[in-house]
Amino acid sequence: MVREAVPEAARVATRIGIFGGTFDPIHCAHVEVAEAVRQALGLDRMLLVVANEPWQKQGRPVTPAEDRYAMVAAAAEGRPGLEPCRMEIDRGGPSYTIDTVEQLRRLEPQAVLILVVGSDVVAELPTWKDEPALRDLVTLAVVGRPGAPRVAPPPGWHGVDVSVAPFDVSSTELRRRIEAGEPLAGLVPDPVIHCIVQRGLYATGR
Ligand code: ATP
């Protein structure tokens, strides 16, 4: 059998979104951001990368990574294109985005990698491990976050602006709500609420 050559037009690079977070817990704004950026930039895949040890969140206890991963997997259920990603958990230790990006680059050498961050994270980027190497490997997509000023990518970053409807929710506020016994409906996807209750997370099993 003679194999037909792949037409040149079909050789378009895979576009992969990398949306990392502690996701403690994942909430509706995370899902909105992931879906909106995926559609706006025509991404083939959007990875929800669960941090193993989020070095930026030192000073407070963090829910075990496997529980956070289970919540992210529940949020991605039935949403083709959103992929829970456990690369950082499987690597172990502190989670640095450069390590994840280099690993993805080895797995998908031709892919265009788009790093998605909320505007509150932009000011911290220069403190990230190997920032010069990281900014050479990815395109940055910054999404607005209520309460955080609209910001341009720091010098040296190649960025794209994506407009996402603001959704004022944070994991911190949700942990407070759970502690206070306030409802999560509308702020956390229903399958994630189910996962929280089933696993007795955030002392819901008390
Ligand atoms: P915490 O309140 O515990 O700090 P968080 O809600 O900021 O958590 P993270 O898991 O730290 O959630 O965030 C992962 C990514 O999602 C970050 O890039 C963050 O800027 C972005 N993000 C979180 N909430 C929103 C939101 N409401 N709108 C836009 N981006 C958001």
Q: Rounded to a whole number, what is the distance in angstroms from the first to the last CA of the chain?
A: 65
One DSSP character per residue, 75-125 reads HHTT-TTEEEE-HHHHH-SB--HHHHHHHHHHH-TT-EEEEEEEHHHHTTG
Please name the amino acid found at residue 98: I
Closest residue to atom 31 of ligand 1, CA basis: 118
How many angstroms is it from 172 CA to the middle of ligand 1?
Answer: 9
Give the position, in ligand 1's atom list, of the atom nearest the Cα of 116: 18
Regarding the beta carbon of 33 and ligand 1, being less than 6 Å apart is answered yes
| 172 Cβ closer than 6 Å to some ligand 1 atom | yes
**Backbone phi, psi, residue 112, to 5°:** -90, 125
Question: If you measure from the C-alpha of residue 12 to the centroid of ligand 1, how many angstroms do you get, rounded to a whole number?
Answer: 31
167 lines ligand 1 (CB under 6 A): yes
Decide whether any atom of ligand 1 lies within 6 Å of the 143 Cβ: yes
With a 6 Å cutoff on the Cβ, whether 24 touches ligand 1 is: yes
**Residues 6 or more apart in contact with residue 165 via CB below 8 angstroms:** 32, 36
What is the structure's pLDDT at 2? 38
Q: Is 43 in the pocket of ligand 1 (CB under 6 A)?
A: no
At residue 206, the pLDDT reads: 57
pTM over 0.75: yes
Backbone angles phi, psi at 187, to 5 degrees: -105, -25
For residue 128, the CA-to-ligand 1 centroid distance in Å is 17
Which two three-digit tokens encode residue 4? 């037909």
pLDDT for res 55: 86
pLDDT confidence of residue 164: 87
What does the pLDDT read at residue 193? 97
Q: Is the peptide bond before 25 cis (omega within 30 degrees of 0)?
A: yes
Confidence (pLDDT) at 118? 94
Which helix H or strand E contains 140, and what residues bound it?
Answer: strand 139-143
Residue 149: predicted pLDDT:
78
Superfamily classification of domain 2-203? HUPs (3.40.50.620)
Ligand 1 pocket residue status of 32, Cβ below 6 Å: no
Atom of ligand 1 nearest to the CA of 51: 10
Please give the pLDDT value at position 11. Answer: 54
pLDDT value, residue 19: 98
The whole-number mean pLDDT for each consecutive block of 10 residues of the chain, a chain of 206 residues, reads: 45 90 98 96 97 87 97 96 97 97 97 95 94 97 85 90 88 96 96 97 76
pLDDT at residue 95, as a whole number: 97
